[in-house]
Structure 1
Amino acid sequence: MAKELTWDGTLSPNEFQKAAKAFVQKWKGCISMPAWAWKPFTRLPYTLTHDEGGYLSLEIVYKHVAEERSCDCIVQEGYPLESSALAEEVADAATLVNLFALLSLLMALKCKVLDCDTETHLYDFHIIYSASYRVPILYFRGYNIGGQPLDWSTIKEDLPLSSVKMLDESRWTFITKEEHPYLKRPWFTLHPCGTGDWMKLLFLDKVASVGRAACIPNYVLSWLSMVGQAVGLKVPLDLLTEDEHLPVNS
């Protein structure tokens, strides 16, 4: 137990996979929320040394943004298409494109009734293990209905004011743009500096009482409940209340 008390708050690759898969199982009970999925990947980035890997994925999350700030439908958060029964029947890329077009049309018609000009922004979020920092890192990208990537200034406008304030004021929380280690394309990422330190503090009492191994299943959930707030991602309240160590979303 004395050795566990020196835990620095980081994870081994195997511990990350266990934590990630436990996170997916916990999230399955949240029928009101978009679903995270584990994406296995056998061809790993050169920075990873274990034989098998993967990452957590939440994709095609849409935000409907009104250009008229006085309009009542300024921001509407939606579910990813892949979580709907319709999307489960998608057979090819062409069908998916048609679904995107249909979604855009429906949302435009809805807001036209409310007399406001709108556009649809879509977001993908990935949680990837960093071999360098030994902690999860949140990668994300935004794009419009035509697939054109959003720049940071546009993405920032989509965030809640509390998230923008956090990004502006915190010396630990900042966004960079890096190559996605699996997809080899530029994505935005929340820099992981200090992650191990505050995860260590978060689990300090629990590690002392029940041991490190018992904390691993809640690691990603705890981490996302803090990190996700910076980009407007929230953990469902019912999951937060299952463990007293998880901070409630503000």
Structure 2
Amino acid sequence: MEIANFPSLTGEEFLEACHHLDGAYCRAQLGPLRKRWKLRLRMAAQADFLFQDVPNSYIEITRPLDPEDLDIDLEILRKPVIRKDGAIVCYEIHLHPTYRMPCLWFQIQGLDTGESQYDLDTVFRYLVPEQYKEGLRRYGGIGGISLDNHPVKGDPWFFVHPCLTGDNMSAFKCQISEYLIIWLGLVGGCVGLWVPRQMATIK
């Protein structure tokens, strides 16, 4: 399917992109990783939070906070490993009503008592690889990481501001089936979200 106003998405296009990403996850040969890196297509129950032409479906991805539990190349992360047994990171992909781009929301859950999941320093300490830190701090809230009320759940979550995503995506003219895989490759890495390579090769 062609995207009518690439890289912007309509609600229908975003929903189809979500189904393609969910399908890639279901078909990928992930082995034991599937128990730890989980992707689900969700539907929001609270429709009163939703905007016009923003679907109530979204993608949820959860993974252990400890990158060693994912069996990924820690050299790629270029950051010290901080073990947090039992803690997870929950990521959600929603369509932003203004920018008409996917927006990545995330929250660290299950931290030890005394550590705040709403502290930006906590996010930088546990999620942001070293090579992204300077750029994200320079951008601040606009173009970087912000804390706001979740568009559906209402409680505070962090999100990667989508204002620059359109320019970055414009270099990748792609079909709707590839859209979210490419988008995650551009956006997810700065907060520790990496798409398993088995999904990226699914046609």
Write out per-residue CA displacement over residues 211-243 of structure 1, whole angstroms, 9 at most, x where no aligned residue.
xxxx11111111011100110111222333457
Unaligned segments of structure 2, at least 5 residues = 72-81
- Of 163, 172, 180, 1:220 maps to 180
Instruction: Give, in whole Å, the separation in 1 of the partners of 2:11 and 2:20.
Output: 14
Residue identity matched to 1:76: E
Count of residue pairs brought into register by the alignment = 182
Give the Cα separation in 2 of the matches to 1:35 and 1:135: 23
Deviation at 1:132, TM superposition (A): 1.2
Letter in 2 for 1:58: I
RMSD between superposed Cα atoms in Å: 3.0
Q: Which residue of 2 aligns with 1:63?
A: 65
Q: Is the CA contact 1:42–1:54 (under 8 Å) kept in the aligned structure 2? A: no
Describe the shift of the 1:139–1:7 C-alpha distance in structure 2 as closer, same or farther (beyond 3 A): same
State the 1:161 CA deviation. 1.6
1:124 match: secondary structure: strand
Matched with 1:167 is: 136
Unaligned stretches of 5+ residues in structure 1 = 65-74, 80-116, 207-214, 244-250
| Distance in 2 between residues matched to 1:7 and 1:226, nearest whole Å | 19
Aligned 8 A contact 2:49 2:152 in 1? no
Q: SS of 1:15's equivalent? A: helix
CA contact (8 A) 1:138 1:190 kept: yes
CA change 1:173–1:217 in 2 (3 A) is: same
**The residue matched to 2:52 in structure 1 has which SS?**
coil
Task: Return the TM-score normalized by structure 1.
Answer: 0.62
Identity of aligned residues (%): 23
Contact 2:185 2:194 in 1 (8 A): yes
Q: Which residue of 2 aligns with 1:18?
A: 16
Kindly name which structure, 1 or 2, has the bigger radius of gyration based on alpha carbons. Answer: 1
**Matched ranges for 1:1-250 at <5 A:** 7-28=5-26, 29-31=28-30, 32-33=33-34, 34-50=37-53, 53-59=56-62, 61-64=63-66, 76-78=68-70, 119-120=84-85, 121-145=87-111, 149-150=116-117, 151-158=119-126, 159-168=128-137, 173-203=143-173, 206=174, 215-241=175-201
1:36 is paired with a residue whose SS is strand
Letter in 1 for 2:178: N
